[in-house]
Copies of this chain bind each other. A is one copy, B any other.
Amino acid sequence: MELSIDQVNEMIAPRFPGMVGVRFTELAPGRSVCELTVRGQLHNPAGVLHGGVHYTLADTGMAMALWPMLDADLPFTTIEIKMSYFKAVTGGTLVCTTTVVNKGRRIAFLESEIRDGARIVAKASGTYYIAAP
């Protein structure tokens, strides 16, 4: 994979991550960092950031951390992600750092940590399936 960060951000702009406001700031094989500026439209009716927003950061960050490790012709899909929340978020910028913890031939396990400045506000762990060529 030879995409620059700008190319990745352009690629996601017209899709769901772009709609939510995800933008990447680091990309490497097995690691990604993406972020998002919280705005009122991303809140739930209770006035705090909707849990689907953190999750979209993590799922998108996991895909982009795994992708540069794979041969171009191998599609991959999310098997499952568990997302845990620690602190309510109402504004500011969330930064999501993702690492590939283990990668087998067909199965990869990743973790994401979402911070709001110095606070860890949420963590996720997920499993991806890498299809055979």
> Are A83 and B80 interface neighbours, CB within 8 A?
yes
Name the contact of A19 in the complex, choosing from B12, B41, B79, B82 (C-beta under 8 A): B41
Q: Give A71 Cβ to nearest chain B Cβ, in Å.
A: 15
- Interface class of chain A by DSSP: mixed
Name the contact of A43 in the complex, choosing from B15, B44, B56, B132 (C-beta under 8 A): B15
Complex Cα distance, B130 from A132, in Å, reads 13
Copies of this protein, total = 4
User: What are the residues of chain B within 8 A of A46 when measuring CB–CB?
Assistant: 75
User: What are the residues of chain B within 8 A of A82 when measuring CB–CB?
Assistant: 80-83, 125
A104 CB–B CB distance under 8 Å: yes
A31 CB–B CB distance under 8 Å: no
> Are A52 and B56 interface neighbours, CB within 8 A?
yes
User: What are the residues of chain B within 8 A of A45 when measuring CB–CB?
Assistant: 11-12, 15
Known: A15-B43, A16-B52. 5 other contacts (CB 8 A): A19-B42, A51-B59, A52-B59, A56-B56, A109-B123
List residues of chain A with CB under 8 Å of any chain B CB: 11-12, 14-17, 19-20, 41-46, 50-53, 55-56, 59-60, 63, 75, 77-86, 88, 101-102, 104, 106-107, 109, 120, 123, 125, 127, 129, 132
